[in-house]
Amino acid sequence: MRKLWDLFGKKEDKQVAEQQNAKETKLTEASSADQKLVSGSFVYGVQDTFKLLNSNDLVVVGRVKGTVYPGMAVYVSNFGDDNGSILVTTVLGLEIDQTPVDTATDCLVALKLEAGQKVDIKIGSIVHTRDISTKEVHDAYISAIGDVYVLRKNLDLSDDEIASMSITDCTEAWRLFNWFHSKNSANESEEEKLANREKIEKLACALCKKILAADEIYTVFNKVTGEPHMFSHTIKQDNDSYMCTPPDIMIISKVYSKQYEAMYSADQFEIRKIENGTNKDGIYNFLGSTFYLNGACGVAILSEQTAIDASKLVPKPDYGDTPQINIPVTNPDLMRWMLLIGQLGHPETPDTELIYKLYYRFMSIEMTKAMFIIPMQSEGEIPTADKNGKTVLKEGLQINFPTMKGKYNRDAVRMFTDWKRLNMEYGPEWSGFLQPVSGMIDVLDCAINATKYPASGCYISKDMYEEMIKMVAN
């Protein structure tokens, strides 16, 4: 048996010359070792890599599940990469504890991969035979990420290490780190907990940049509201009162998009692709709209255990020096609760009834404060508004605004929380004026965001509004 150093180290000059003169072996072609038809089955998560001098071959270290032999044709993939491809190469040799071996089963082992340096093999890359299932590949990937980034490095990662990680790599490392330390938190000092939070903060900051720079991300859309689904939980507190966790939307990496499609009912949800576009601002604009029009408070990435605050991704708009007339009309604090109520639907159990009442109270508070856009057309020119957005109308000017058949034998005026919703129903020939519900409710009921997604709004009658006023006062 040859010595391990001979196997994984430098070749003799004659061998190098022969290799240079030989036709280059492509990863997608079977090599001479492959042609030996060595059979077997295994999956292997890469935990470390070592380049060889004067060779395109690569040594990887990781844990094998199954049995691996020299000469096996194998697939190599970066499971966590959005645009990762599957490549074919050959196992040239094995080492266990720096000793060459002819076989390895269910253990930590070094593999020499033919022409492995020609591709991006890294921590979390998977080497496997063709019979291995997607689930087995995924499990090996998760094990490698956890073994290296959590158990070995305790998430103490350099900038270069983080730069090499994909969105999925970062998120899974974060999730596993949270899980591991939640099991051991009772034994950790406050200094250790603070250090762990700082590690998460560093990874989360890098993750924000990766999300905004991605070619595409995916998110869970609610077909009832027509907006990204909001994830929130209602928690009973020690004083028997209840609180809601800040609602987040879910961001999904491309590699997990099909898995999430299987998890969510197609009748109610859609896993929708958000493309960044050529200007690389599509994801930023999507998130900005979701946060500052819809009222989402952040994003959960792959799971609710790995969440980032909205302001870390898209800063909250600052209108401090902006004239009132130029400030866009938005109502995110109201939209948040209307969308959550729309998602909930009609409460049919005591638990959903409780959640509905909680959402309704928060919605009522915001409803009494909100300013809405009423679509408007005029017969004649409307004077330009002053710096505070106020306009003095000329005598005799006729203004038309749309109404609809409402409930309880009353007509309703159509009002919108923002221009996005108004433009879903009315074209550029329509302008708008601002009114609170209190400015219209004595004459007309108010249909808020009456679009093709009525669950993104609500209908306010005079009696209902008076009840809201009383609720807020109490």
- Per mean pLDDT, which of 180-184, 226-230, 403-407 is the most reliable? 226-230
Residue 327 lies in a domain: no
My answer on whether 110 and 175 are in the same domain is: no
My answer on whether 360 and 400 are in the same domain is: yes
My answer on whether 14 and 137 are in the same domain is: yes
Q: In the predicted model, is pLDDT for residue 184 greater than 80?
A: yes
Q: Where are the beta strands (DSSP E) in 146-201?
A: none
Residue 435 lies in a domain: yes
Two structure tokens written together for 330 = 């938005």
pLDDT digits over 240-290, tens only? 888 999 999 999 999 999 999 999 999 999 999 999 999 999 999 999 999
Return the H-helix or E-strand segment holding 63: strand 58-68
291: Cα separation from own chain's centroid:
14
Q: Where are the beta strands (DSSP E) in 380-461?
A: 398-400, 403-405, 411-415, 431-435, 445-448, 458-460
My answer on whether 186 and 253 are in the same domain is: no
My answer on whether 434 and 364 are in the same domain is: yes
My answer on whether 395 and 412 are in the same domain is: yes
Listing DSSP states for 83-106 in one string gives T---EEEEEEEEEETTEEES-EES
Q: Last residue of a domain, which of 99, 115, 142?
A: 142
Mean pLDDT for 135-161 is 97
My answer on whether 205 and 220 are in the same domain is: no
pTM: 0.86
pLDDT digits over 431-472, tens only? 998 999 999 999 999 999 999 999 999 999 999 999 999 999
My answer on whether 404 and 456 are in the same domain is: yes
My answer on whether 252 and 306 are in the same domain is: yes
Residue 330 lies in a domain: no
Instruction: Name the residue range of residue 160's domain.
Output: 148-213
Residue 322 lies in a domain: no
Domain of 73: which CATH number? 2.40.30.10
Residue 43 lies in a domain: yes
pLDDT score, position 388: 52
Q: In the predicted model, is pLDDT for residue 28 greater than 90?
A: no
- Residue 228 near residue 300, CB atoms below 8 Å: no
Number of domains in the chain: 4
- Residue 311 near residue 352, CB atoms below 8 Å: no
Mean pLDDT for 107-122 is 95
- Band of residue 23 on the pLDDT scale cut at 50, 70, 90: very low
pLDDT score, position 32: 40
Q: Last residue of a domain, which of 142, 165, 200?
A: 142
My answer on whether 176 and 220 are in the same domain is: no
Mean pLDDT for 278-305 is 98
Residue 124 lies in a domain: yes
My answer on whether 208 and 305 are in the same domain is: no
pLDDT digits over 50-92, tens only? 999 999 999 999 999 999 999 999 999 999 999 877 889 999 9
pLDDT digits over 395-414, tens only? 655 778 899 999 888 899 99
Residue 334 lies in a domain: no
Residue 41 lies in a domain: yes
Q: In the predicted model, is pLDDT for residue 220 greater than 50?
A: yes
My answer on whether 359 and 395 are in the same domain is: yes
Q: In the predicted model, is pLDDT for residue 16 greater than 80?
A: no
Mean pLDDT for 328-357 is 96
Q: Last residue of a domain, which of 166, 193, 213?
A: 213
3-state SS, one letter per residue, for 314-345: CCCCCCCCCCHHHCCCCCHHHHHHHHHHHHHC
